[in-house]
A and B are shown apart, each in its own frame.
Chain A
Amino acid sequence: MSASPFEGVLSMLIRQRGVQGCMVVGEADGIVVDSNVQVGIQSNVVAALAAALYRKARLCSAAAGLSTVGFLQLEAERGHICAIGRDGLVLVTLAEPRAHIGRIRGAMLESLSVLA
């Protein structure tokens, strides 16, 4: 079986400080295409919720006339969800509050081409 085209990107993202998991998800169905997560992280749940959030932001933005959504970050008391999408796929990262979001954002923007 050949290696997943997302393996390199996911390996790079999981090494960022505070990242608990990262995955490539189908935006429409929220199903995991490939993932790299720490033990205890339920990738299926994260994937479904992050994809739904990204999809909603994209649809709401279009309705508000704000064009295509790029990078999205949800900041919460006990963590962050970052997402960026292209061609029906979303790259999702789940991170701890201590994570360096600037670096994660940069890495995710650089990885966008892999979703094409």
Chain B
Amino acid sequence: MSEEIRRLSEELARDPSSLVFMQLGEALRRAGQLDLGLKVAHRGLERHAHNADAHDLLARIRVDRGELQEAFDEWDMVLRLAPSHVGARKGMGYVLFKQGKLSEAEAHLSTAATQDRGDSSIATALRMVRRLLRYAHVAGNGHDAPGHDDLIAAQRRVEEEARELFADILGEGEHTALLLNADGLVAAGLYVTAEGEDVSQEVGAALTGVRDEALRAVRHLDLGAWRAVVYETDLATVALAPALDESMVLVAASHTVPLGFVRRVLDRCVQRATTWLEEVE
């Protein structure tokens, strides 16, 4: 049990009517202790049945448990208690997206994006849903409600587009490029090792930390917006640059590729990523 969970548990034991159950439930959720988190959230709601954030916590635990419909119902309750709750809109959009109900997901995410323009994860999700919707309509020859097969065709098209996004820029050269979203998840591109292993997700997750440090440095030193981080290793040159919605483009090239060329490829990849993301507003 982590120190934080222990401390919060003791605090809740001292005062069972305290709202600290929400922090404890969240800490348990993050630690993957979902059964315990669920129990804590339920007990808390027995005393605070009209607390929207407590229902939101329960919904997020439900989603992590894969109980999508229960999570949706819980977020529905959140909206009844707090009609402008952005987290509930975002959550409902996610559940509906997972259930293939793209038009309804788009409606919720669109409302959430209007309510919180600063949350890049909402903007990213909304772009994805809108892209899928557009392609599903094309696959379904413009019918109002795309069917299951149309959605699968749309999903395939998005995946293919994403995988090939930088292919013509990179050519057959000794470099590779990824578009990572604000959370470090791969949105497009491919990172394949010399052995042919796809390590896009691992590399993306690892290098997102560099972006966070760069952001910290420019903020504290008043250097304005960051434009690129380029560094050389024994094996490769790695170049990172920001793109739309707090996403980031990463280019890695063999250390034999000149630095200036890597930088040029990076600029072209950023431009390509921006155009692709902006296709769906």
Q: A52-B213, A66-B252, A78-B224 are in contact. Are A73 and B234 (CB under 8 A)?
A: no
- How many contacting A-B pairs (Cβ < 8 A)? 109
Residues in A whose Cβ lies below 8 Å from that of B213? 49, 52-53, 56-57
Chain B residues with a Cβ closer than 8 Å to the other chain, count: 34
Give 1 or 0 for each of A2-28: 1 = CB within 8 Å of chain B CB.
000000000000000000000000000
Q: Which of B111-119, B160-168, B201-209 contacts A (4 or more CB under 8 A)?
A: B201-209
Q: A74-B226, A74-B229, A76-B225 are in contact. Are A66 and B218 (CB under 8 A)?
A: no
- The A-contacting residues of B in range 234-279, CB under 8 angstroms, are 234-236, 238, 252
Q: A70-B234, A76-B224 are in contact. Are A57 and B229 (CB under 8 A)?
A: yes
Give 1 or 0 for each of B175-203: 1 = CB within 8 Å of chain A CB.
00000000000000000010000010011
Chain A residues with a Cβ closer than 8 Å to the other chain, count: 30
For the complex, is B214 an interface residue (Cβ under 8 Å from A)?
A: yes
- Interface residues of chain A, those whose CB is within 8 Å of chain B, are 45-46, 49-50, 52-53, 56-57, 59-61, 63-79, 81, 94
- Interface residues of chain B, those whose CB is within 8 Å of chain A, are 193, 199, 202-203, 206-210, 212-214, 216-218, 220-236, 238, 252
Known: A53-B217, A69-B231. 8 other contacts (CB 8 A): A53-B229, A61-B206, A64-B202, A66-B203, A66-B235, A71-B232, A78-B223, A78-B224
